[in-house]
Structures are given as structure tokens and as C-alpha cells.
């Protein structure tokens, strides 16, 4: 009998938009007129506009009004290039298309997950994980910390106030994970430090000169909490409180036990009152 041959054609690259936002995507190195749009909850097969250039995508969000517009003259910045070849999870700053958005409102922290399904490479863009890639804790009393990814063109600077905790996403997840930190007091820069968050442990103290008679040390450390790297910045007072807390938690607990024995006629009763450790 005749044999039937079945040929299945699958896309090589697919982008899935799991956000509640409209996305625009553009190949790195090509004209902005080549951008494409992806609806929330939809997927799009990626065809490269130029096979000879870098096969990476830049992304940004668009509002409903901008999505309905067919104009190609909209402003706004793009994300760094995302590679389909770097499998796994990465945190990313996703810019908003509107030029009116400023500061932290100008971008959204998202998770990009690249995975293989058969011969297809799928890039899933979704809300950030419950456990972010990097958590920054400013445990100082009065120092405001400005931070941005080092050696990345057009990296966005964020600030974290004393006592606050922020999660951080990289402008370019394919570049080294180095944060450029500026320590400020009332808008006056006191010191700078470049921190590689892949290096776990405590860094040498950073000397802060408030004035010639007021000098303090800042303590910077990085530790892992599951998949999350935690960057912790403390001044001397908060560091001493932390050290005392660690000593208290390491001190062995005292066990109090009371033993009572009663001897009755032909009956033996033993009562043990013990406080568990």
C-alpha cells in the first residue's frame, strides 16, 4: 500500500506575552519601523528582519491608547537585547513607551523565561517571580542609596531610602551583575562603591565623612536566600544591633526541669514537668 509521509513545520522562535500589557518588540540593530506588537496573553512567531544582524529582541510596553494608534513615530526607550539562547530565568526592566513616564514609573520589573520545547525556543515574558533575583535592603539610619547597573549604556538609576527594601531588576541581564552604588545625604554624594552581587559575603567597610568630625563606616554584604541574592547595607549602629541579635540567637537555651515523686500505698506516681528547649 501507499505510505503517507507527514511533515510537521514548527516555528524556531516564539515569544509569549503573559503580561496584562501590550508589548512591542524589535530586533536589535534594525529600523524601528520593523517593530511588531503582541497582545496580552498572546504569542507571536519571531521572524528576523535581518538574518545578518544580532538575533536578540528589544521590548517595551505600550498603553491601550498607543496600542490603538498605527503611528510609528511614538517615542520611548527600549529594553536591552534579550537572547533566546540564554535559557533560564532573568529579571529585566521593561520600559514603557510613553515619554511622559519618569523615574520608577517609566519601567516595570518583569521576568523573562527562555526555554526549549522540542525544536522551538520560547521566550515567556511575565510578572516578576515571588522571589526576585536581587533584593536590596537599606538598613542605614540616614543614607539614601542611588543604584544602577554598571557599564551598561543608558542604565536607569533607582534610589532606596533609609529603612526601605526594594527588589531590583537588571537593565541588561546578559551583562555582569555589578551594581554601581552612590551613598547620599540630603542630595550630597558622600561615597561610591561598585558591588558584584555574585560575590557572597561581607565587603570591606566604606568610610563615610559626614563632616571632619563625623565619620562612620557602612557595611555592605551579600547573601543568598534561595534563588534570591540579598544585598544589605548597614551603618555601624545597625550592624552592631545585628551582631548582638546573632549572638542572642546563638546562645544556648537553658532547660528547666522539675521532678516530683510521690509514694503511695501500693501506688507509684511520677510527675515530670519539663520546659522543652
Q: What is the DSSP string of 246-268?
A: HHHHHSPPP--EEEEEEEETTEE
Task: Say what the pLDDT of residue 200 is.
Answer: 93
Number of Cβ within a 10 Å radius of residue 47: 11
pLDDT of 263: 56
pTM of the model: 0.64
Position 277 scores a pLDDT of: 44
Please give the pLDDT value at position 98: 58
Spell out, as residue ranges, where the chain has pLDDT lower than 70: 1, 63-76, 97-105, 129-130, 210-213, 237-277
16: Cβ–Cβ under 8 A, 6 or more apart, which residues?
42, 43, 122, 123, 124, 125
Name the region of 56 (left: φ>0; alpha: ψ -120 to 50; beta: rest): beta
Output the pLDDT for position 127: 82
Identify the pLDDT of residue 78: 84
**Looking at residue 247, what is its pLDDT?**
47
Distance CA 143, CA 57 (A): 38
Instruction: Check: CB of residue 202 under 8 Å from CB of residue 193.
Output: no
Amino acid at each position: 500500500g501507499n505510505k503517507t509521509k507527514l511533515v510537521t513545520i514548527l516555528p524556531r522562535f516564539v515569544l509569549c506575552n503573559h503580561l496584562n500589557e501590550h508589548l512591542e518588540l524589535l530586533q536589535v540593530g534594525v529600523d524601528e519601523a520593523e517593530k511588531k506588537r503582541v497582545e496580552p496573553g498572546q504569542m507571536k512567531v519571531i521572524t528576523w528582519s535581518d538574518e545578518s544582524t544580532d538575533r536578540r529582541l528589544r521590548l517595551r510596553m505600550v498603553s491601550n491608547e498607543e496600542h490603538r494608534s498605527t503611528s510609528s513615530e511614538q517615542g520611548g526607550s527600549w529594553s536591552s537585547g534579550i537572547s533566546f539562547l540564554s535559557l533560564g530565568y532573568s529579571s529585566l526592566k521593561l520600559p514603557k513607551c510613553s515619554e511622559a513616564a519618569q523615574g520608577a514609573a517609566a519601567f516595570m520589573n518583569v521576568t523573562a523565561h527562555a526555554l526549549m520545547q522540542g525544536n522551538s525556543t520560547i521566550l515567556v515574558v511575565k510578572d516578576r517571580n515571588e522571589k526576585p533575583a536581587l533584593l536590596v535592603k537599606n538598613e542605614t539610619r540616614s543614607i539614601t542609596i542611588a543604584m544602577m547597573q554598571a557599564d551598561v549604556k543608558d542604565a536607569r538609576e533607582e534610589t532606596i531610602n533609609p529603612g526601605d527594601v526594594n527588589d531590583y531588576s537588571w537593565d541588561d541581564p546578559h551583562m555582569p551583575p555589578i551594581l554601581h552604588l552612590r551613598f547620599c545625604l540630603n542630595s550630597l554624594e558622600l561615597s561610591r562603591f561598585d558591588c558584584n552581587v555574585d560575590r557572597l559575603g561581607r565587603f570591606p567597610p566604606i568610610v563615610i565623612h559626614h563632616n571632619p568630625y563625623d565619620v562612620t563606616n557602612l557595611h555592605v554584604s551579600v547573601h543568598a536566600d534561595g534563588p534570591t541574592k540579598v544585598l544589605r547595607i548597614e551603618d555601624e549602629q545597625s550592624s552592631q544591633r545585628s551582631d548582638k541579635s546573632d549572638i542572642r540567637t546563638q546562645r544556648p537555651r537553658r532547660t528547666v526541669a522539675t521532678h516530683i515523686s510521690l509514694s503511695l500505698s501500693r501506688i507509684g506516681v511520677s510527675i515530670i514537668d519539663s520546659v522543652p528547649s
